[in-house]
């Protein structure tokens, strides 16, 4: 036979558990750069081509939850780990697209990107590798709150962060995650699910 106190605490525990399950994490809106008029015309003037040498407009992803990161094919330090972790996120998940911009357009030709795509993400149709000119790369990186730089010369880029940026269906930045960190990747996967329901 249950005492009144036991029943009270049982109901209280169930109530707390249900409250925790039903309460949704609120993701902040970090940046609205892709919604501002002054940026839209600049974005539309940028030119990027994918690994199949087709023109790609960044704004074509409006209405889809998507991710963005920066890399270069000859990177042997953090890029392979980033690619592995991000592949796990997007593989088989039709609710998300991933854009990876090369920061070394001089060496990462379309044919190089196509070969890289085949080696790294052949079975991931929602992963696009993009190449553009240096000016457009600098500008798009700023809008994505990403840091890329060169090796001291104006001719080549050789540094990028390990960040991956999450955008919602309205192209608002909702999160920035370290793609080398498994705990951050777990948070990213959780946040993708939250945004995909909206």
pLDDT digits (tens, 9 = 90+) for 20-45: 443 477 899 998 888 887 788 788 88
User: Is 20 within any annotated ligand binding site?
Assistant: no
Is 166 within 8 Å of 156 (Cβ atoms)?
no
Q: What is the pTM of this model?
A: 0.83
Which of 85, 73, 68 minimizes the C-alpha distance to 145? 68
Which of 190, 159, 158, 162 minimizes the C-alpha distance to 174? 190
pLDDT at res. 153: 53
The answer to whether residue 92 scores a pLDDT higher than 90 is no
Helix and strand totals (H; E) in the chain: 6, 9
User: Is 160 within any annotated ligand binding site?
Assistant: yes
Query: In angstroms, rounded to a whole number, what is the distance separating the alpha carbons of residues 87 and 121?
Result: 7
């Amino acid at each position: 036979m249950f005492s009144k106190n036991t029943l009270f605490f049982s109901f209280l525990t169930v109530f707390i558990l249900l409250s925790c399950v039903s309460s949704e994490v609120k993701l902040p809106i970090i940046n609205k750069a892709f919604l501002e008029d002054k940026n839209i015309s600049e974005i539309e003037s940028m030119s990027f081509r994918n690994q199949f040498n087709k023109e790609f407009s960044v704004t074509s992803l409006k209405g889809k939850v998507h991710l963005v990161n920066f890399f270069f094919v000859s990177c042997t330090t953090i890029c392979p780990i980033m690619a592995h972790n991000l592949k796990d996120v997007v593989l088989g998940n039709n609710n998300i697209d991933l854009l990876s911009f090369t920061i070394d357009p001089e060496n990462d030709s379309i044919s190089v990107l196509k070969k890289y795509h085949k080696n790294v993400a052949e079975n991931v149709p929602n992963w696009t590798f993009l190449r553009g000119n240096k000016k457009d790369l600098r500008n798009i990186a700023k809008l994505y709150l990403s840091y890329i730089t060169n090796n001291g010369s104006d001719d080549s880029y050789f540094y990028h962060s390990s960040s991956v940026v999450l955008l919602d269906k309205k192209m608002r930045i909702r999160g920035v995650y370290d793609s080398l960190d498994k705990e951050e990747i777990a948070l990213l996967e959780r946040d993708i699910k939250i945004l995909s329901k909206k």
